[in-house]
Each structure stands twice: as C-alpha cells, then as structure tokens.
Structure 1
Amino acid sequence: MEFGEVVRKRRMVRDYDPDRPVPAAVVDRLLGHAIHAPSAGFSQGWGFLVLDEPADRDAFWAATTPEGWAPSGWLDGMRRAPLLVVPHSNQSAYLDRYAEPDKGWTDRDPGRWPVPYWHIDTGMAALLMLLTAVDEGLGACFFGIPGERVDGYRKAFGVPAEFTPIGAVTIGYRAPDRLSPSLKRGRRSVDQVVHRGRWS
C-alpha cells in the first residue's frame, strides 16, 4: 500500500473479528516498526507489553475497566480485539542518557525538559504501530487507561515502577464497526491549523 493511502485510511477501529488472530509475523512487524520511532538522544526509553492470549486480555480489561462501567457497544467491540499492545515510557532512560558526557548535562533534573519527550517518543512508536496495522490490512485503536486503574494494571502485569503506560492499542481484523459520532465534526482543513511565518 502506498504511504499516502495508509495515512488516509488510518482511523480508530473499535470492533474486531474475534475469530481471526493476528499472525505472529505481523505482530513482529508491528513491534519492529514501533522501535524505529524517533527518540531524544536515541534514548529508546520504551517498553511494550504484548497481550495476545485470551486470559491475558481478560486480565487487562478486568484491571483497567472502571468500577460500575456499564456494558456498551464501544467496550464490547474493543474487548473482541485479538491483540493488545501497551506502550510504556521510561523517564529514567532519558534522564540517564542526557546526563552522559556527550549531552553536556551533569544531572538528571527533569525540569530541564520543556515537555516529557519520554511520553512523546513512545506515542510516536504507538503511531507507527497504528500505521503498520493499516498497511497490514488490520484495524487498530489507541486509547487511554483510566488514571485510577493504572495501579491495578501495574499489579496485574508486574510492570516495573520506572515504566508508565501511556495508553493501549487494540489490533485485529476489522468487524463492520460503527463510525464514531465524533467524525460528524469533520476533519479540520490544513488552512485551519497551519500558520505560516506568524501565528496571527
């Protein structure tokens, strides 16, 4: 598939065919592309938890679904995904890297960073997975783990303290899912979001 077509076809998919697992070779390509994301100082401070066994996926949903959450078409469709990948960022890897001699900082002060590049770079790795899914004929959706459920998620999967889940990605073969009502807003045009020379 041409790259432009991959970009145009990318959208968040919220319902999957539960009877079609993602082939192992495709999972390897998804992760192989993810680690080609840019990272500040080539820190590569990320880690990916792959959940492709039914018991592991059930444990993920049990740990991350808020108490009292009523069944819904959105959640039911997402739970049918045969593959979940949880990208994690590692702030320490960045602070350590930028305290090395070639970077010129002598401490690990996170205040030096204008934005948390450890999260940004991991988000770019997640985007590469989303684009790879389209190229492989799959659907995918990036979504957040509710803040109050992160500790339960960490405990369920033994996630080390230095790794922070920035969200999760469902991946699988698309079912005929409903379009999000948000799409009625329409995509903003380039002219509406691009400013040349000056913002105003």
Structure 2
Amino acid sequence: MEFQDVVRRRRMVRRYDPDRPVPPEVVDRILHNAVRAPSAGFSQGWGFLVLDTPEDIDRFRTACRHEEWPDDYLAATVRAPLLIVVHSNKDVYLDRYAQADKGFTDRDDSWWPAPYWDIDAGMAALLILQTAVDAGLGACFFGLPKERIPVYRKAFGVPDAFHPIGAVSIGYPDDPLDDDRRARFRARRKPATDVIHRGRWST
C-alpha cells in the first residue's frame, strides 16, 4: 500500500471479526516496525506487552474495569484478537542523559522540556497503527483508567518502571465506514488553516 493511502485510511476501528486472528507473521512485522520508532538519545525506553489469547484479553478487560467509569469504556469492553500495550520507561532516559556524551551529570528531569519517554512511546504506537493499516487490518489506540493501572500491573507482572501510555487493539475490521460516518468525520476535521502556522503564529 502506498504511504499516503496508509495515512488516509488510518482511523480508529473498535469492532473486529472475532473469527479471524491476526497471522503471527503480521504480528511480528507490527512489532518490528514499532521498535524502529525514533527515540531521544536512542534511549529506546519502551516496552510492549502482546496479548493474543482470549484468556489474556479477558484478564485485561477485568483489570481495567472501573466501577465508577461508564460501562462502555473501551479498556473494559475491548474485544479484539490482538492487543499491544505500549509502555514508556522514564528511568532509561534519565540514565542515558546522565552519560558523559550527553553533558549532564545527574538524573535530574527538571530540564526536560517535555516527557520524551512518553512521546517516543507514542511514536511507536503510531507505527503500530500504520503497520496495521498497511497489512489490511484495523486498529484503535486507547488509554487505561489511571486508577486501575496498579491492578493491570499486578495482573500481568509489569515492572513499576514501565508506565502504560495506552493500548492498541488490532484485528480485521467489522466496523464499516458508511457515507454518513465519513461525512461526519469530514465535518469535524479542523481546517488546516486553523492548526498550521507559517512564519509566525497567527489568529
């Protein structure tokens, strides 16, 4: 698929064909591309938890179910043949930038202009989404309820240093985009002139 087609076709798909698993070679390609994401200082402070059995995905839903959240909150209701939970590790970045070639003498995080550990993990998540589209699949990135992250960690043995920034559900789409939905999406997309500024910021 041409790259521009991948960008154009990418959307958040929430329903999948339950009878079509994602082939192992496609899962491997998705993960191989994810670890090709850029990272500050080539720190690569990410981690990916792959869930591809009904039992594991049911355990994920249970871990993310929050009694005070709506019943349709996606983390607690997701049904897909494949989930990849994307994590960031801040410590890896602080360690990397305390090395001699980076010019910092300690692991202080006060000088960082943005949390690049989370940004880089988000870039990896985008590559997961794009690779899924390129393979003819649908995918959706969604967050975990903050209050349930300790339960999720315990359920899957995730070390404290790794923070889940979100999960990507992946499968063959059973979520058709009809003309009405296309029109609604187009109407909601902000004009480029509202978000792109050339030379100086203008209102």
2:189 corresponds in structure 1 to: 187
Q: For 1:23 and 1:50, locate their aligned partners in 2 and report how far apart those are by CA, in whole Å.
A: 13
Change (3 A) 1:162 1:82: same
Q: For 1:143 and 1:105, locate their aligned partners in 2 and report how far apart those are by CA, in whole Å.
A: 35
1:156 corresponds in structure 2 to: 155
Change (3 A) 1:142 1:182: farther
Change (3 A) 1:63 1:177: farther
Change (3 A) 1:106 1:149: same
Q: For 1:76 and 1:63, locate their aligned partners in 2 and report how far apart those are by CA, in whole Å.
A: 9
Question: One-letter code of the match for 1:35?
Answer: V
Deviation per CA, 1:59-93: give whole Å up to 9, x if none: 00000121165654x74996321000000000000
2:99 corresponds in structure 1 to: 100
Change (3 A) 1:109 1:75: closer
* Secondary structure, aligned partner of 2:114: coil
Q: For 1:145 and 1:184, locate their aligned partners in 2 and report how far apart those are by CA, in whole Å.
A: 28
Q: For 2:133 and 2:45, locate their aligned partners in 1 and report how far apart those are by CA, in whole Å.
A: 25
Equivalent pair of 1:78/1:170 in contact (CA under 8 Å): no
* Secondary structure, aligned partner of 2:48: strand
Calculate the aligned-residue CA RMSD, in Å: 2.2
Equivalent pair of 2:142/2:168 in contact (CA under 8 Å): yes
Tell me whether 179-188 or 121-130 shows the greater mean CA deviation: 179-188
1:141 corresponds in structure 2 to: 140
Q: For 1:154 and 1:198, locate their aligned partners in 2 and report how far apart those are by CA, in whole Å.
A: 45
Question: One-letter code of the match for 2:34?
Answer: A
Q: For 2:17 and 2:113, locate their aligned partners in 1 and report how far apart those are by CA, in whole Å.
A: 42
1:47 corresponds in structure 2 to: 47
TM-score, normalised to structure 1, is 0.93
Equivalent pair of 2:65/2:76 in contact (CA under 8 Å): no
* Secondary structure, aligned partner of 1:152: helix
* Secondary structure, aligned partner of 2:105: coil
Q: For 1:106 and 1:30, locate their aligned partners in 2 and report how far apart those are by CA, in whole Å.
A: 37
Equivalent pair of 1:12/1:142 in contact (CA under 8 Å): yes
1:60 corresponds in structure 2 to: 60
Provide the aligned length of Structure 1 versus Structure 2: 199
* Secondary structure, aligned partner of 2:110: helix
Equivalent pair of 1:16/1:77 in contact (CA under 8 Å): no
Deviation per CA, 1:83-135: give whole Å up to 9, x if none: 00000000000000000110000100011211100000000000000000000
2:111 corresponds in structure 1 to: 112
Q: For 1:76 and 1:116, locate their aligned partners in 2 and report how far apart those are by CA, in whole Å.
A: 24
**Sequence identity (%):** 63
Structure 1 portions without partners, runs of 5+ = none
Equivalent pair of 2:64/2:76 in contact (CA under 8 Å): no
* Secondary structure, aligned partner of 1:49: strand
* Secondary structure, aligned partner of 1:170: strand
2:10 corresponds in structure 1 to: 10
Q: For 1:150 and 1:85, locate their aligned partners in 2 and report how far apart those are by CA, in whole Å.
A: 15
Structure 2 portions without partners, runs of 5+ = none
* Secondary structure, aligned partner of 1:96: helix
